Amino acid sequence: MKIGVVTFPGSLDDVDAQRAVRIAGGEPVALWHGDHDLKGVDAVVLPGGFSYGDYLRCGAIARFAPVMTEVVAAAHGGMPVLGICNGFQILCESHLLPGALIRNDHRTFICRDQVLQVENTSTAWTSDYAEGQQITVPLKNGEGGFVADAATLDRIEGEGQVVFRYVDVNPNGSLRDIAGITNERGNVVGLMPHPEHAVEDLTGPGTDGLGLFTSALTSLLARS
């Protein structure tokens, strides 16, 4: 199974995301922001970083990168798409996910190992977790405050579109402690914390993040 990882100018975690795909048992494929080509991949990861220098708004310019035309079309067709950190911001700017990310309420960049609760295990990226399971993955962002109007928040809560919620600490002022969400179909998932940094015991707080990548491979196999 091929999982593409898009590199934008300013992406930081594209190589880590490729490595996570490889450790999970998939075949990572490097995708370039300027290409109109998904190279036949079965799923796409939009990695963390500071695409286009975070100019204008985080993810606002990346949204209009040539490759995003293909990613948006594929997502509407049901392809699993995961956005991590800056990738989450891009998915919100692309209207593939509701809401937006704003500057942390405490105005400082935060970097910590963060406990999350998995609240929806029916998405393409979370099926290998147990509902209610708590996982620890690194979080590092300056603009990670998830916001949406009250009606949107009520709707996504009601539809089970909240996938991850912060436990113990709300690290960035996200409304209702929301760390990650999905679209109605469950194929597009975005989250601020970095599961790709928690796939090996040697270089992270554990391997709790691997489940997102194995889940995608599981859901792709179930489909084929």
Positions annotated as catalytic residues are 85, 194, 196
Q: How far is the CB of 149 from other proteins (least distance, A)?
A: 8
| Token pair in block for residue 17 | 């995301």
Query: Any contact of residue 153 with other proteins (CB under 8 A)?
Result: no
* Single-letter residue type at 144: G
Q: How far apart are CA 30 and CA 137, in angstroms?
A: 24
End-to-end CA distance of the chain: 10
DSSP structural state of residue 11: B
Q: How far is the CB of 104 from other proteins (least distance, A)?
A: 7
Q: How far is the CB of 65 from other proteins (least distance, A)?
A: 13
How does strand 2-7 pair with strand 43-46? parallel
| Residues in region 50-109 near other proteins by CB under 8 A | 56-57, 60, 64, 92-93, 98-100, 102-107
- 219 touches 127 (CB < 8 A): yes
Q: How far is the CB of 4 from other proteins (least distance, A)?
A: 25
3-class SS of residue 173? coil
| Residues in region 168-207 near other proteins by CB under 8 A | 173
- 47 touches 87 (CB < 8 A): yes
Q: How many residues does the chain have?
A: 224
| Residues in region 113-152 near other proteins by CB under 8 A | 145, 147-149
Q: At what angle do helices 14-24 and 210-223 cross, to 10 degrees?
A: 60
As beta bridge partners, residue 100 has: 147
Please identify, using beta-carbon distances, which residue of 108 and 122 lies nearer to other proteins: 108
Residues found near other proteins in the complex (CB under 8 A): 56-57, 60, 64, 92-93, 98-100, 102-107, 145, 147-149, 173
